[in-house]
């Protein structure tokens, strides 16, 4: 979720209203995964066919963990994705597990204070700019322990905190201690994350394009076309979409868009990109529930 355009309130209403969500995402959830085509087979044959020079696209889907709309559709897409799961919520553990079993990469989607808006919209375990060093450190640790299979962190909102060098040094230090990397969602154009990551010897991974800043299937398809062009220009592209009130549209747009891009780019997990572009090997101490 990105707060640069003030839309997060809209998302957060859904995020923080589990009563609404129960009706949307029910017991059918597990069925959607078992009915999915085997991802590993598709991925390996895709790799076999792909030219060594083909550009790579990593699609990240934010805001999992609360059974939001579109979760089942995202977890059924026939390409390798990365999902960013919020901590301490109703489906945190099950979403992370389902994604991992499907062969997707899992990130901790860590709530961080935005420049505008109420911190209470962030959800549990959020990092605020005025917290002490010790509190930031212990909150990051606790959130990581709560999201199984996480190989890295990205920020939920966070336009204020990602501009705060003191706090981000602590967050990235925890990443380094645990063999994880940090993906800057780029909700703040003045983010200090890339600079600090380079100084600390972590890969400066960042989001390039938001897929669903306007909510329509056609917009997502159009954004994916831009992602393809950017990937061809710079060999790779990182893009972020969301589950939530319009999550089914995002999933449908991705499904159509990837069909049109077949043969043009390789869809990879963020861990593949980190390894191949920055020659950085994460050594995650995976948390198993
Ligand atoms: Zn988010």
How many A from CA of 157 to the centre of ligand 1? 6
d(CA 140, CA 200): 17
**pLDDT at site 33:** 27
pLDDT tens string, the chain, 289 residues long: the values are: 445 444 444 444 444 433 333 322 222 222 222 233 334 434 444 444 445 679 999 999 999 999 999 999 999 999 999 999 999 999 999 999 999 999 999 999 999 999 987 767 799 999 999 999 999 999 999 999 999 999 999 999 999 999 999 999 999 999 999 999 999 999 898 999 999 999 999 999 999 999 999 989 999 999 999 999 999 999 999 999 999 999 999 999 999 999 889 889 999 999 999 999 988 876 655 554 4
- With respect to residue 174, please indicate whether it lies within any of the assigned structural domains: yes
Provide the greatest CA pair distance for the chain.
Answer: 51
Token duo for residue 275 = 């390894």
- How many separate domains does the chain show? 1
- With respect to residue 95, please indicate whether it lies within any of the assigned structural domains: yes
What protein residues have CB closer than 5 angstroms to ion ligand 1? Answer: 1, 62-63, 156
Domain that holds residue 133: 8-16+54-278
**pLDDT at site 283:** 67
How many A from CA of 38 to the centre of ligand 1? 28
- With respect to residue 3, please indicate whether it lies within any of the assigned structural domains: no
Mapped onto helix, strand or coil, the DSSP state of residue 128 is coil
How many A from CA of 111 to the centre of ligand 1? 7
Query: What DSSP string describes 130-191?
Result: TS-HHHHHHHHHHHHHHSTTEEEEEEEE-TTGGG-HHHHHHHHHHHHHHT-EEEE--S-TT-
| Burial (Cβ within 10 Å: 0-12, 13-18, ≥19) of residue 219 | middle
How many A from CA of 158 to the centre of ligand 1? 9
Describe the crossing of helices 217-234 and 247-261 by its angle, rounded to 10 degrees: 50
**pLDDT at site 284:** 56
How many A from CA of 30 to the centre of ligand 1? 23
**pLDDT at site 263:** 87
For residue 231, what is the domain's CATH number? 3.20.20.370
- With respect to residue 26, please indicate whether it lies within any of the assigned structural domains: no
Q: Where are the alpha helices (DSSP H) in the chain?
A: 8-15, 18-24, 29-34, 39-49, 71-74, 92-102, 133-146, 165-178, 193-199, 217-234, 247-261, 270-278
Task: Name residues whose C-beta falls within 8 Å of residue 253's C-beta, 6 or more positions apart in sequence.
Answer: 211, 212, 216, 217, 218, 219, 220, 221, 223, 224, 241
- With respect to residue 223, please indicate whether it lies within any of the assigned structural domains: yes
**pLDDT at site 12:** 44
**pLDDT at site 287:** 55
How many A from CA of 219 to the centre of ligand 1? 19
How many A from CA of 263 to the centre of ligand 1? 30
How many A from CA of 150 to the centre of ligand 1? 16
How many A from CA of 9 to the centre of ligand 1? 11
How many A from CA of 113 to the centre of ligand 1? 11
121 close to 165: Cβ distance less than 8 angstroms: no
Residue with tokens 């550009």: 55
- With respect to residue 288, please indicate whether it lies within any of the assigned structural domains: no
CB count in 10 Å sphere of residue 126: 24
CB count in 10 Å sphere of residue 176: 15
Sign of CA dihedral 150, 31, 156, 126: negative
């Amino acid at each position: 979720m990105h707060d640069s355009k003030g839309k997060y309130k809209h998302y957060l209403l859904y995020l923080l209203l589990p009563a609404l969500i129960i009706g949307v995402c029910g017991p059918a959830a597990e069925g959607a995964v078992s009915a999915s085509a085997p991802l590993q087979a598709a991925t390996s044959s895709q790799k076999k066919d792909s030219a060594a020079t083909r550009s790579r696209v990593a699609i990240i889907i934010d805001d999992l963990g609360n059974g939001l709309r579109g979760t089942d559709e995202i977890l059924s897409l026939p390409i390798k994705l990365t999902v960013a799961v919020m901590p301490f919520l109703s489906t945190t553990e099950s979403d992370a597990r389902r994604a991992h079993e499907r062969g997707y990469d899992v990130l901790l989607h860590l709530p961080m204070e935005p420049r505008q808006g109420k911190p209470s919209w962030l959800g549990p375990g959020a990092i605020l700019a005025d917290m002490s060093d010790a509190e930031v450190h212990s909150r990051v640790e606790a959130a990581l322990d709560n999201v199984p299979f996480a190989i890295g962190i990205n920020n939920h909102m966070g336009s204020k905190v990602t501009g705060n060098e003191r706090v981000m040094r602590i967050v990235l230090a925890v990443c380094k201690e645990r063999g994880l990397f940090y993906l800057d969602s780029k909700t703040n154009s003045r983010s200090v994350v890339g600079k600090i990551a380079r100084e600390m010897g972590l890969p400066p991974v960042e989001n390039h394009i938001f897929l669903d800043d306007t909510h329509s299937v056609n917009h997502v398809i159009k954004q994916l076309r831009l992602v393809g062009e950017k990937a061809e220009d710079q060999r790779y592209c990182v893009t972020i979409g969301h589950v939530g009130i319009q999550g089914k549209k995002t999933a449908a747009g991705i499904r159509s868009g990837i069909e049109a891009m077949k043969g043009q780019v390789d869809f990879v997990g963020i861990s593949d990109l980190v390894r191949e572009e920055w020659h950085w090997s994460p050594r995650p101490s995976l948390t198993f529930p």
